[in-house]
Chain A
Amino acid sequence: MRFRNALLLGAAISLLSGCAMGGGTNAPPASASNNNAASATPASDPVNPNPFPSTYRAYPSQPTAIVGGTILDGEGARIDNGTVLLRDGRVEAVGGADLAIPAGYTRIDARGRYVTPGIIDIHSHLGAYPSPAIASTSDGNEATSPTTPEVWVEHSVWPQDPGFGRALVNGGVTSLQILPGSANLMGGRSVVLKNVPARTVQGMKFPGAPYGLKMACGENPKRVYGSRGRMPSTRMGNFAVNRQTWARAAEYRRRVDAGERVARDIGMETLADVLRGNILVQNHCYRADEMVQVLDMAREFGYRVSAFHHAVEAYKIADILADNHVCVAMWADWWGFKLEAYDSIPENIALVERAGGCAIVHSDDENQIQRLNQEAAKALAAGRRAGINITDEAAMRWLTINPANALGIGERTGSLKPGKMADVVMWNGNPFSVYTRPERVWIDGAVMYDMYDPAMRPVSDFELGQPGEGDTK
């Protein structure tokens, strides 16, 4: 069932249902790092803010010049016949044909090709709902209480999910956020990963990325808990439980920040860090009216929503969302699988863009994550057909800098700017075409995929010794 995450069938739930900052090639942590929480915690009650630190290290790389391609830099600029220099895992320089290429650089011919930042999926359940999708691996929803801010999805993520590799080779995805599911109003902490295979989740964790808190509006929480005869069984119940929980979190935070001794409450630690601005709210919400109510609730308790996810009715309130500086992560054309997805229109993303909002294309799906560029192309074309003129270079932001900013990693990746991580895709044509594929993908400057080299594709442990091992998938 492809909708298991978005639709979240009740049946599916009951059935299945050291150095945080990395190595020398990594930039300092974003200002929103959860490490800030430490300063607010009294010394008498030390709480390690980062008990599962990233051990990700960039793989070895060569100084590289990608020459002659059409560059879409991820922040809305385009350079024809451009040159991108990568060195020591970073973007070193981006320019036109006149940009000098130092001696000793591996030269990549990008003529006829497009060069973009790596694709970033802000909404994935890879690893937590991995392939194979069986009861043994169904670890995305702790659907035993409507608020579970105490769970951290990284403890569910199985790094051997073959879906990570598919997202890399077919989709050019270099970073992604793994979220808990949407059964709960507060589903738990998310984790941001670099899409590089590793033995451990820590080995994939994006160094210094802030955590997110998954929240969910609407049908899913009320259905899951209402069907069990407990609160919430209505949308008003959803808000009541949320507000009561935020009120508790505000009190918890007040006591901790005042230096009072409190028994550790793992869930409240997460919510208090949301209120401190260290953890970013990623809010599953379909309907326009509910999103605006969530914005009021956020104001009431003094937190920000970083992004609404799914948001099929964002176009109805595109002006309000832009005024509130909330990013909006959307599908190009999913609709109709439940009532709150009934009013989806293909122009949704373009209308959010036109209103001056922060539009993002997300997948929520192990298949669609493999072609987010095509999803963006559909949204772009639907917008143009409706008379909304959006350039290719502007639309590339939907897949790169916009999700990076909504994840709090926009200073580190998400565009081809000097000093940023060298997360780069060279496409064999215009990425907004069905006929285009990732030809080569670099992550932190290291080549992780080459379309022409069958050895340059990850094969997960699960697929070893199985039919089709090592096949082009």
Chain B
Amino acid sequence: MSGRLFARAAALALLAGAAIGALPAAAQDVAITNATLVIGDGSAPIAQGTVVIRAGRIVAAGANVTVPQGMEAVDAAGRYVTPGIVGGFSRVGLIEIDAVDGSNDADASESIYGPAIDIAPALNPLGVPVGVNRMNGVTRALVFPGASAGLFDGRGALVDLGSDHNMVTRAGLFQYAELGETGAERAGGTRAAAILTFRTLLAEAAEFARNPAAYDGRSRDALLNRADAAALGRVLDGRDRLFIKVSRASDILAVINLLRDYPRIKATLVGAQEGWMVAGEIAAAHLPVIASALTDLPANFEQLAATQSNIGRMRAAGVTVGIGLVDDNETHRLAYARQYAGNLVALRHVAGATGLDWDQAFATITSGPAAAAGVDDVVGTLRPGRVGDVVIWDGDPLEVTSAPAMVWIDGVAQSLVSRQTELLRRYMEPREGNLPNAYDPR
């Protein structure tokens, strides 16, 4: 082992001693100075900026911010300092290993419940994917329920990826519905049946809301039990946002049409692979979108027109867009959002394509998802009052070769050790020494 490798391994070992399972305590007050500061709202980076975190929240960020007297200051030495990445579509905390059933709490398609299923109590903050995403700069995420038996899959949450026992920021933030091909299949076979079912379920929820005591969820006609009816009532009156997964242009228009009958519903589109074809209509309906950035294949018959220009064209039409790993690597590799955003910057050079400039692209992985979920007052930028999720990067945060150097979540400095860094430490030199590899010299 070379001297440099040994030094690296030793440094990792030192970090590891304090790492796994050791949960940090309170937020520190800290100022990060001399930063290439990215606010996350689509504005250009600020040279030599400062961000101040106090009591777990951002109190100031900008060029002319002074460090409060006595506050700890970290010199970013000109490196990029940004809000943490916000996973726009994830199952982090719900799944440890996809194919290990007992560790996978995404799908509940055999449950008698659908919309009433609230994923929050299933979250496991100590799961390895939480730590791996954290060390890759993802600090917060929207966690979606997996499949239910019906159109409404349940209530999703905004979570943090901090190293502590509570990852819930907002439980029950939104309801998740799937239309298009999936909805058609679950509703009995057709899109028309899905739309009818959607309307009927909401009508029953309204009936429940008018007089819960009188609602007979067990009658022969009832599609909704009482718990599910109550959950959909929260959608009807706008308490819970409704995320609707839909892909085909005509299906998007059908959803826009449908939502006209429910003026209090706050809706967001998910997927929207053909959204660019009806971008004007989406913008006019004030529907934000969580989209997967680089989907460009006709993977099925509802995304024949998928293109990497989808997000750029929707943004150009005025649609609020956040990147989400929709049916992608939504548990283990949320940091792909950075790579995807970087690809949208590169796309601008291709004839006929529409990409994003760097500032807009970065916003699609921070304030974009936050705004699409209606929580941009909480997270997604370094504006005052937002959660103290801040990352210092060792390079351009949209570049695939870059990685976080330091991460704070809710103002708490985070360990960047994970099971992956532990495996690296053990196998930097794979050959056995005087003892088997299982005996780690610490």
Contacts and interface: CB of A to CB of B under 8 A. Distances in A.
A473 B430 contact: no
Contact of B7 (A339, A380, A387, A437): A387
B428 A162 contact: no
A436 interface: yes
Contacts of B345: 434-435
A462 B350 CA distance: 23
B25 interface: no
Contacts of B339: 371, 374, 378, 434
B107 to A, nearest CB: 11
Interface in A1-35: 1-3, 7, 9
Interface string A306-330: 0000000001111100000000000
Interface in B342-359: 342-343, 345-347, 349-353
B128 interface: yes
Given A338-B98, A345-B424, A371-B343, A166 B349 contact: no
Interface stretch (A78-86, A206-214, A464-472): A464-472
Contacts of A453: 351
B148 to A, nearest CB: 17
Given A345-B423, A381-B400, A471 B297 contact: no
Nearest to B395: A381
A380 B305 CA distance: 34
A96 interface: no
A377 B352 contact: no
Interface stretch (B27-35, B202-210, B325-333): B325-333
B117 interface: no
Contact of B420 (A317, A345, A473): A345
Contacts of B193: none
B93 interface: no
Interface string B57-79: 00000000000000000000000
B351 A451 contact: yes
A339 B100 contact: yes
B298 to A, nearest CB: 5
A402 to B, nearest CB: 20
Given A337-B97, A367-B294, A473-B308, A317 B5 contact: no
A92 interface: no
A385 B403 contact: yes
A468 B305 contact: yes
Contacts of A367: 294-295, 297
Interface SS of A by simple majority: loop
A468 B307 contact: yes
Nearest to A133: B299
A345 B296 CA distance: 28
A342 B394 CA distance: 27
B297 A377 contact: no
Contacts of A239: none
A333 B333 contact: yes
Interface string A25-64: 0000000000000000000000000000000000000000
A2 B328 contact: yes
B98 A7 contact: yes
B402 interface: yes
A472 B100 contact: no
A19 B304 CA distance: 37
A468 B400 contact: no
Interface string A330-350: 000111111100111111000
Residue among B274, B297, B305, B306 with max Cβ neighbours from chain A (10 Å):
B297
Contact of A467 (B96, B277, B294, B328): B277
Interface residues of A, number: 66
A1 B107 CA distance: 14
Contact of A451 (B329, B333, B349): B349
A371 B347 CA distance: 13
B342 A435 contact: yes
Nearest to B341: A434
B211 interface: no
Nearest to A10: B99
Interface in A364-384: 366-367, 370-371, 374, 377-378, 380-381
B401 interface: yes
Contact of B401 (A131, A433, A468): A433
B235 interface: no
A390 B5 CA distance: 13
Contact of B298 (A162, A355, A388): A162
Contacts of B96: 336
Contacts of A451: 349-351
B8 interface: yes
B400 A377 contact: yes
A346 B133 CA distance: 13
A164 to B, nearest CB: 11
Given A345-B423, A371-B343, A435-B342, A387 B351 contact: no
Contacts of A315: 424, 427, 430
A428 interface: yes
Contacts of A316: 427, 430
B251 to A, nearest CB: 13
Contact of B305 (A343, A435, A467): A467
B111 interface: no
B129 A336 contact: yes
A212 B82 CA distance: 48
B309 interface: yes
A2 B98 CA distance: 12
B387 to A, nearest CB: 26
A347 to B, nearest CB: 5
A406 B299 CA distance: 30
A386 B401 CA distance: 13
A226 interface: no
B439 interface: no
Contacts of B379: none
B99 A366 contact: no
Interface string A65-108: 00000000000000000000000000000000000000000000
B299 A131 contact: yes
A432 B399 CA distance: 9
B402 A386 contact: no
A387 B4 CA distance: 6
A435 B332 contact: no
A441 to B, nearest CB: 13
Given A338-B97, A466-B305, A472-B351, A434 B343 contact: yes
A243 B34 CA distance: 64
Contact of B297 (A1, A131, A336, A452): A131
20 contacts: A134-B301, A162-B297, A315-B430, A335-B332, A336-B128, A337-B97, A337-B99, A338-B99, A343-B423, A345-B420, A355-B430, A371-B343, A381-B400, A386-B8, A434-B399, A437-B346, A463-B298, A463-B304, A468-B307, A472-B353
Interface of A: 1-3, 7, 9, 131-134, 162-163, 166, 170, 219, 315-319, 333-339, 342-347, 351, 355, 366-367, 370-371, 374, 377-378, 380-381, 385-388, 428, 432-437, 451-454, 462-463, 466-468, 471-473
Of all A-B residue pairs in the complex, the 4 with the closest CB atoms, nearest first, are: A468-B305, A434-B342, A381-B401, A472-B352
Given A338-B100, A434-B398, 15 more contacts: A132-B301, A162-B297, A219-B99, A315-B430, A318-B430, A333-B333, A334-B329, A345-B423, A346-B420, A386-B5, A437-B347, A451-B351, A468-B274, A471-B352, A473-B306
